[in-house]
Amino acid sequence: MIGTKGRVVAVNGNMVSVRFDGAVSMNEVGYVKVADKRLKSEVIRIRNDVSQLQVFEITKGITVGDEVEYSGDMLAVELGPGLLGQVYDGLQNPLPLLAEKTGFFLERGVYMKPLSSELKWNFTPSAKAGDKVERADTLGTVPEGAFTHRIMVPFNLYGTYTVASVKPAGSYTIADTIAELKDEKGNTVKVTMSFNWPVKRAVDCYEERLKPKEPMVTRVRLIDTFYPVARGGTYCIPGPFGAGKTVLQQITSRHADVDIVIVAACGERAGEVVETLKEFPELTDPRTGRSLMERTIIICNTSSMPVAAREASVYTAVTLAEYYRQMSLNVLLLADSTSRWAQAMREMSGRLEEIPGEEAFPAYLESTIASFYERAGIVRLRDGSIGSVTIGGTVSPAGGNFEEPVTQATLKVVGAFHGLSRERSDARKFPAIHPLDSWSKYKGIIPAEKVSYAHGFMRRGSEVEQMMKVVGEEGTSIEDYVIYLKGELIDSVYFQQNSFDAVDAAVSPERQIYVFDKLLKILASKFTFGDKNEGRSWFNKLRQRFLDYNGSEWKSDRFTSLEKEIEAMVSERSGGLDKTIEKLLA
């Protein structure tokens, strides 16, 4: 089939206007032909016989009159076994292979197959001739790393099909036909182990969406105990420059209780992307001791690609996440940073001369962000099994001002907010999640009443601290001062977590639940001190013990003996417990 053709009539940055002859649809892929190169582009607006395309490459050299070929296909990703462990750019080009082929400076107009067509996979059929199947039903499986990769009826085969034949167990490439299906009219469709799906359309081959309830444990105390994230839920991490967004996402990608992690790195600095590429493969999976990369996919932008590619990368990433969700797996998608993506939208919108909204972002910024996060979710598949996609996105607002449009639009749709604070990161209090301003709508691993009891001390402690700045320590009562010390204690032994300490870096939910009760007892104890100095030095000593306790192996001898020491210190000082806590700890 010969696709529609057109000619460039105008070039504006990485947007070209093309007059065409024939039929063209939104989000269709077109190739601008310049010299001997074909530059991949996407149709983002159509007016009569002129379409606007965003070019995913540097547009240098494109001139009026250049030919454009429309492909007839939407911007899509290839789905199939072999995605895990890959590092792709936003257009699903395997970056290491691309670099091998074109050298360090990636050449434009070079596109490579996302999945190897030579690699053989060990296929085991599960469907048989005569079975009635629908899209996303399983025809067979192949092992992919530690997972059972379902070979499914391509998601774009709508309707009911009858299996005519399935290949016997054996090894096949993704290009081999593994099954033949007959549609209701009797036409035969050949199915291979891979197929394409348009990135801007949410994969919807499930029976029903469920309410995210179960916590997705991250082993970061501040998150799991105070501001939890649910499996299939969404959260955002806004934070000023250098406050620890990327590090927090890396910690999460390592320790989160999920099967697969997909990282969409739209870093603004080339260095950052290189860092991700270098560091990630060296990380080990704490659960298996093998390379973390085996259950990870990285989508990242190279500095040689223009902003449009950032746009593509978040959609590519979420589509891959949805694909693995169809295999009844729990997937975590981390997007860093969504602000870069929003800036790409702003740039394009400007070129299209659309009526600008706040801070020149397009009026549809909110709805676009919302529809991205809505692709998260926990679903029940047709076979009754459950899969989930959880999305966490960082936002990097200029000057750390959370009032700006991208942060605000994101806050409207996500279920949890982990706001990073400049003050805390400057003080090297990590993770720099703000303990008072953050929030979560999800249920965590610890009952809400207990959490809010501890939170109360943090809030009141911070009020006393503010007051002390005005009236000085002398003007503060000893009772208030003890509340301040208790607030400080929670901050240093529970909120802050040492990501360089082998034990403290990742805390199991059992340990969090256990230790939190110990902490609550300290908070609820009525302490009396002769003066503030005495109180301060006693709390300092307690804090040090507690930090050692945090650093000791769960339930080890050292752990138990430090716990005894802490309890002895407390009971020696305590004049009884606050009444409210007795009910909570009962």
Helix H segments across 527-578? 532-551, 557-573
- Which residue, 253 or 525, is less far from ligand ATP as judged by CB? 253
Which option in Mg ion, ligand ATP, none does residue 397 bind, with CB closer than 5 to 8 A by kind? none
Show the binding pattern over residues 396-425: x = contacts ligand ATP (CB under 6 A), - = does not: x-----------------------------
Show the binding pattern over residues 234-253: x = contacts Mg ion (CB under 5 A), - = does not: -----------xx-------
Tell me the angle at which helices 448-471 and 509-524 cross, rounded to the nearest 10 degrees: 50
Task: Tell me the site size for ligand ATP, rule CB under 6 A.
Answer: 12
Site for ligand ATP in 201-240 (CB under 6 A): 239
CB of 441 to ligand ATP, least distance (A): 24
Which among 49-57, 241-249, 276-284, 568-576 is the span making contact with ligand ATP, rule CB under 6 A? 241-249
- Which residue, 222 or 515, is less far from ligand ATP as judged by CB? 222
For β-strands 179-182 and 132-133, DSSP reports them as unpaired
CB of 219 to ligand ATP, least distance (A): 13
- Which residue, 66 or 404, is less far from Mg ion as judged by CB? 404
Question: Is 54 within 8 Å of 41 (Cβ atoms)?
Answer: yes
Task: Name the helix (H) or strand (E) containing 576.
Answer: strand 574-577
Q: How many Å apart are CA 326 and CA 388, to the nearest integer? A: 9
Task: Tell me the site size for Mg ion, rule CB under 5 A.
Answer: 2
- Which residue, 265 or 454, is less far from Mg ion as judged by CB? 265
- Which residue, 155 or 341, is less far from Mg ion as judged by CB? 341
Which option in ligand ATP, Mg ion, none does residue 514 bind, with CB closer than 5 to 8 A by kind? none
Kindly tell me which residue out of 77, 222, 243, 464 binds ligand ATP, with binding defined by CB under 6 A. 243
Helix H segments across 145-244? 221
Long-range contacts of 177-184 (CB under 8 A, 24+ apart): 178/123, 178/125, 178/139, 178/140, 178/151, 179/125, 179/127, 179/139, 179/140, 181/133, 181/153, 181/157, 183/159, 184/159, 184/160
User: By Cβ distance, which residue is nearest to Mg ion?
Assistant: 246
CB of 423 to Mg ion, least distance (A): 18
Question: Is 252 within 8 Å of 392 (Cβ atoms)?
Answer: yes
Tell me the angle at which helices 365-373 and 405-413 cross, rounded to the nearest 10 degrees: 40
- Which residue, 152 or 264, is less far from ligand ATP as judged by CB? 264
Site for ligand ATP in 492-511 (CB under 6 A): 499
- Which of these, 191, 176, 81, 174, lies nearest to 127 by C-alpha position? 191
CB of 433 to Mg ion, least distance (A): 15
User: By Cβ distance, which residue is nearest to ligand ATP?
Assistant: 244
Task: Name the helix (H) or strand (E) containing 342.
Answer: helix 338-351
Is position 244 an interface residue for ligand ATP (rule: CB under 6 A)?
Answer: yes
For β-strands 170-172 and 121-125, DSSP reports them as antiparallel
CB of 275 to ligand ATP, least distance (A): 9
What are the respective helix, strand and coil percentages of the chain, to the nearest 5?
35, 25, 40
Helix H segments across 398-508? 405-413, 422-426, 448-471, 478-490
Q: Which residues bind ligand ATP (CB under 6 A)?
A: 239, 241-247, 396, 430-431, 499
Q: Which residues bind Mg ion (CB under 5 A)?
A: 245-246
